[in-house]
Chains A and B, each alone.
Chain A
Amino acid sequence: MPPKIASVASTKYDEHPDSSSRELFVEAAIDAFEETDLGPSDLDAVYVGNFMGDLIEDQGHMGALLADHVGAREVASIRIESACASGGATFRQAVHAVESGAADAVLAGGVEQMSIANIEHVTDALANAADDVYENEQGLTFPGIYALMARRYMHEFGARKEDLAAVSVKNHNNAVENPLAQFQKELTVDDVLASKPIATPLVLYDACPVSDGASVVIVVSEAFAADHSLDTSASVLGTGQSSDAVALQDRATITRTPAAERAAEEAYDEADTAPEDIDVVEVHDCFTIAEILALEALGFYGRGEGTRGAVDGETALDGKLPVNTSGGLLGKGHPVGVTGIGQIVELTKQIDGRHPNQVEGVNTALAHNVGGSGASTTVTILGGE
């Protein structure tokens, strides 16, 4: 029996300079409790996805701290860190805890407070997701890593900067209708191309912003849902996770993301689904090139064809495969350790039929969450009743 999602909630992703991880996390948790009349005493565990609490807020040990703050001081708690895939990995561990019978109700949340540090400090903290010696110490930055992938992709497949920009335009435009998104402003391809260079060929609007926020999902067993008469809609049909070399230079190729391919294969197999069964998708678009590589790794496009999604409108809200209806990381924001949980929140709303950019007839949905430049990837497939 697949685990069920009892409730979901997110804070707005934005800069919250007067807040903190504990306040943001609790805000999302309270909303999740209220949505379904569950409370802290119903939980068996609290899992927290977080990447840089110790680097930005001098706060480690987030599992116990946040279990305490959500009123579940005595349950099993842990912080799960897998760079920007922390949220996806946290959700997957919660699913496994319920599937194994070890827990009946797990609060899987994520929180990140990034904007309180200056941009140099945040950039330095994000660089912890790369190989410090062979990458950071050589002067490579995180945008620089994706820029290396983008330039090589453009060289091999003839993609243009305009094709990358189309991803940013689509996702920013989707964010406008999402009240939880950081950006509420439409962009054009010209706007993107005119933004300042950060690491050629990538410019500012090829990149996601620095964000603060929290998201929470309560994962329960089917028996727990029945016992508590929960009105659940989404089930977890399958999950997958895989790793790769942290340093880009140690990968066999930089125009593919094999960890995502392996995670997707595992999730599709467990869910007994295929790419053509998926109705709506949230992918990890930390940079525009990342969405293109994701669509290819997930089996929606062949190699070198991923640019078609945004350029031809196939991944638009009214396209055949809507991708990042939330606005994605580019438009909605990217509180790094939260993003994988936030994707589950958005897809659950799509399955429930209550998303601000609702797609008609959503029954099967897929989330793809990446850590680093592809060294950690989780894929989750959700289904309706």
Chain B
Amino acid sequence: MPKWFDSFTDTIESDEQQYLACETCGHGTLPPRRLCPACGSADLTREPLSKRGTVLSFTEISITIPKFHGETPYTVALVELDEEITLTGQLRDATADDIAIGDAVVLGTEPRDAGTAVLTFRPAEE
């Protein structure tokens, strides 16, 4: 995995600044961008993510790529965080039968091989 992604997941765990907000148009984006994909501005500043969001969609994967062999079935969710940043990650502490579009979830990370991490979502406590 590239170093920038390791830095990104490290900052999620540390509650430091993780996403890039465009000073010109306000669009939020993710590292490692130098230019805003919405307006092309180079004025991007790092801002913290709240780590709370809602499920936009999800899927239970039965056939996967070699890296995730032996782990099926598992559920991948597409989640929009409160800052309108959308992330893809694996569901934990619940299965596809337990969640629905619109449910509140919390972003986290989980260590994998070679010191890198996978993004995770857990159902939010009420």
Contacts and interface: CB of A to CB of B under 8 A. Distances in A.
Interface of A: 119-121, 123-124, 127, 133-141, 143-144, 147-149, 151-152, 155, 196-202, 245, 247-250, 254
Nearest to A149: B57
Of A141, A201, A202, chain B has the most CB atoms within 10 Å of the CB of A141
8 contacts: A119-B63, A123-B63, A127-B65, A152-B101, A199-B63, A200-B59, A200-B96, A249-B88
Contacts of A196: 62
A250 B1 contact: no
A252 to B, nearest CB: 9
A166 B95 CA distance: 28
User: Looking at chain A's contact residues, is the secondary structure mostly helix, strand, loop, or mixed?
Assistant: helix
A140 B57 contact: no
Interface in B31-73: 37, 56-69, 71
Of A155, A200, A201, A250, chain B has the most CB atoms within 10 Å of the CB of A200
B78 A124 contact: no
B90 interface: yes
B11 interface: no
B78 A141 contact: no
B29 to A, nearest CB: 8
* Size range of the chain B interface in the assembly: 20 to 34
B22 interface: no
Please provide the 8 A-B residue pairs with the shortest distance between their CB atoms, ordered closest to farther.
A147-B59, A152-B57, A249-B86, A148-B57, A200-B60, A199-B59, A151-B57, A138-B88
Interface of B: 1-2, 5, 29-30, 37, 56-69, 71, 74, 76, 78, 86-90, 96, 101, 116, 118-119
Of A144, A151, A155, chain B has the most CB atoms within 10 Å of the CB of A144
Contacts of B64: 123, 139, 141
Of A119, A124, A127, A148, chain B has the most CB atoms within 10 Å of the CB of A148
A148 B58 CA distance: 6
B74 A139 contact: yes
A138 B116 CA distance: 11
A248 B65 contact: no
Contacts of A199: 59-63
Nearest to A133: B5
Of B61, B69, B89, chain A has the most CB atoms within 10 Å of the CB of B61
A286 to B, nearest CB: 15
Nearest to A203: B62
Of B66, B78, B96, chain A has the most CB atoms within 10 Å of the CB of B78
Nearest to A131: B88
Contacts of B2: 133
B48 to A, nearest CB: 19
A144 B71 CA distance: 15
Contacts of B88: 134-135, 138, 140, 247-249
A249 B78 contact: yes
B78 A138 contact: no
A138 B110 CA distance: 11
Contacts of A121: 66
A299 B2 CA distance: 41
Contact of A123 (B37, B65, B119): B65
Given A123-B64, A139-B67, A144-B59, 18 more contacts: A119-B63, A120-B69, A123-B65, A123-B66, A134-B88, A136-B67, A138-B88, A138-B118, A139-B74, A140-B76, A141-B63, A148-B59, A152-B78, A152-B101, A197-B60, A202-B59, A249-B88, A254-B78
A77 B60 CA distance: 43
B20 to A, nearest CB: 12
A52 B63 CA distance: 20
A337 B42 CA distance: 35
B118 A139 contact: yes
Contacts of B61: 139-141, 143-144, 198-199
Nearest to B68: A139
Nearest to B60: A200
